[in-house]
Amino acid sequence: MQAVVVTPRSDPLTDNKGLPAFDRIRAEHVEPAVQRALREAQAALDVLEARVQPTWAGLVEPLERLLDGIDHVWGPVSHLLGVCNSPALRVAYEAVQPDVVALQLRIGQSVPLYKAFCTLRDAPEFDSLSEARQRIVQATIRDAEHSGVGLQGAEKERFSAIQLELADLGTQYSNHVLDATKAYHLDLTTHAEVAGLPQSLLRMAAQAARSGEAPAEQEVDGNHGPWRITLDFPSFGPFMQHSRRRDLREELYRAYLTRASGGELDNTEIMRKILALRAEMAHLLGFADYAALSLASKMAPSVDDVLVLLEQLRCSSYESGLRDLNALRDFARSSGAEEADDLRQWDTAFWAERLREARFDFNDEQLRPYFPLPRVLDGVFALARRLYGVTILAADGETPVWHPDVRFFRVLGEDGRPVAAFYLDPYSRPQEKRGGAWMDECQGRSKLCAAPGESVRLPVAYLVCNQSPPVGNQPSLMTFREVETLLHEFGHGLQHMLTRIDEGLCSGIRNIEWDAVELPSQFMENWSYHRATVRALSGHFETGEPLPDAWFDKILAARTFRAGSDMLRQLMLALTDLKLHHGYDPAGPVSPFAVHRAVEERTLLLPPMPEDRFLCAFSHIFAGGYAAGYYSYKWAEILSADAFSAFEEAGLDDERAVADTGRRFRDTVLALGGGRHPMDVFRAFRGREPNVEALLRHAGLGSREAA
């Protein structure tokens, strides 16, 4: 928001006081600037550790300044790596990244800082701190303790050894999954073997079959074999949906389900070791099991509470799942399929896709002309105004950007004063930009880090999407899914930007329990299923005509297609994850496969296969950050659906009611960020604790009438 201060011969990363000087930052600036910032932070940390006072001003303020100094330089570098990747930038990034991580670890595990935080927590001064400040102190102590700072002697050594071993086992596990995925392929040579496969898959498979040869002069067209099908999801998924060869579907499915479960790439023992070490680590930290440790930093109150919710969802979706299965059987039978009365795991994706085609004969491409980006943006900004009273104004040219297509916007509050700003980088640039969509913070709201003369530093966000760029005079035309994605990231952005917390360490999305972080983003997605909103953000790029009602009805109907079956699968994953980390003894006689099987028997509609070794490739929980946390996907959906239902109750088409409820959402969920416990925030908005009813209703589940 501030003007960029340009000093002659300045280093654009460290000397810049306002928003990043994206027009001047080059790869060669990265190493010297980051090293300088690290040296300064290091020196500040040495001083702080030596003279630390257990008071807000003597501990937390210098710490926030120190962390902000690192972010100021490292933030733009990380951002550019995602949106302007180049070999030179990657080399520079990799050269300094280990030092950044090492310093962050040193800060998080600093014993003098930890002791000072504990003293502050136990001092009389603590009670006079604001709730947000108390949360910062408590979260810092908790995170330090979870990284072992409170342990002594032999226990501390054991803890460090476990962490190292877990990191190593996680890498081995994920390498095995990758190698096992790569090791298998199904080579097909006749047109009969590829019957039913869509052109895009054929092209990819023909390309894969030729990958060992010299690069083809011409692009492979896919009409000529051989074709190579692999266990990579972009190949495996469409094959299971479209291949008319049941025998080949079975072969591929069995290969997929037994990845990394035998020979040199076997993950069975690694998995057992990981579970045992996690349990031991939790015990060292004083927790009953790893699930309890995981939940100690999350919103969900306890493992049992989560289990109760998941069980509620299971009961409510089971019958609907059975109806889905019967519908598949009926459809297969009416199509004359021999397997209709003996559908197996490798048949469901295929028949579900045929049924989907029969019921909803539309595809993404047909909707694109109705969603040109400029129109969609107008609609999204109008929605933000209706709900939250904010005005969003284009401010392109006010600050440098990293690519000519990037837009810059200012956000004004209800009183017309600036409250935030954001960059929007909408289009895909495969040569230099990471795939997917995300929101990240450019700078956070903070009183402490305000520039001289300012009362508070205002938050600025990066919104990054990857949709098709404009072609010729035609604007970027979005799929419905891309519209949903934009709303999702905009929701994250609003929580970052509309925060009213002045404490930099917990404003916006900072310090929010991570099973609650997806609440505002998924909440915003709900509006893409509201007729009036979709009318307002659609407009044919040639005629201006909004999306016709008939199309919208199909979108609505497709939303709940096989929702019961999808829910059951997600519950199977979430329950397996929790049961392996709660009340399970990895050293005992029961194998993890038996735990998984018991969950499958309650959640899946077809009998589990005895040779199922899915756990050997469940990287989310064995090699990713989702251990005893996979439930978070459903948890956040429960919250966001329940929040949206407050608007439904008030009346979605009653402008006054929508505005009142929107202001309440803004003043609670969006404004309070990590400054208050998310359960208290939710209660403040909803007047009660969350429940699963809205999620079930939106998915068309939970009652017979909903079928």
Binding residues vs Zn ion (CB under 5 A): 521
Q: Tell me which residue has its CB nearest to Zn ion.
A: 521
What does the alpha-carbon distance between residue 73 and residue 52 come to, in Å, rounded to a whole number?
Answer: 25
Cβ atoms 146, 162 nearer than 8 A: no
Using the structure block, give the residue that is written with the tokens 């969609």. Answer: 376
Q: Report angle CA 363, 369, 372 to the nearest 5 degrees.
A: 125
Going from the C-alpha of 651 to that of each of 619, 646, 647, 660, 695, the distances in angstroms are 43, 9, 6, 11, 18
Q: If we measure between CA atoms, which residue out of 23, 42, 25, 5 comes closest to residue 77?
A: 25
Radius of gyration of the chain (CA): 27
Q: If we measure between CA atoms, which residue out of 633, 636, 641 comes closest to residue 693?
A: 641
Q: If we measure between CA atoms, which residue out of 438, 449, 594, 589 comes closest to residue 521?
A: 438
What does the alpha-carbon distance between residue 560 and residue 604 come to, in Å, rounded to a whole number?
Answer: 18
Q: Report angle CA 79, 466, 373 to the nearest 5 degrees.
A: 115
Cβ atoms 433, 83 nearer than 8 A: yes
Using the structure block, give the residue that is written with the tokens 């090699």. Answer: 623
List, in order, residues 6 or more apart from 523 with CB less than 8 Å away.
491, 640, 643, 644, 665, 669
Residue 483 is which amino acid?
A: V
Helices 153-183 and 268-284: angle between axes, nearest 10 degrees: 150
Going from the C-alpha of 704 to that of each of 321, 556, 565, 641, the distances in angstroms are 12, 19, 15, 20
Q: If we measure between CA atoms, which residue out of 551, 398, 343 comes closest to residue 1?
A: 398
Active site residue 489: yes
What does the alpha-carbon distance between residue 470 and residue 474 come to, in Å, rounded to a whole number?
Answer: 6
Options 482, 489, 513, 518, the catalytic residue: 489
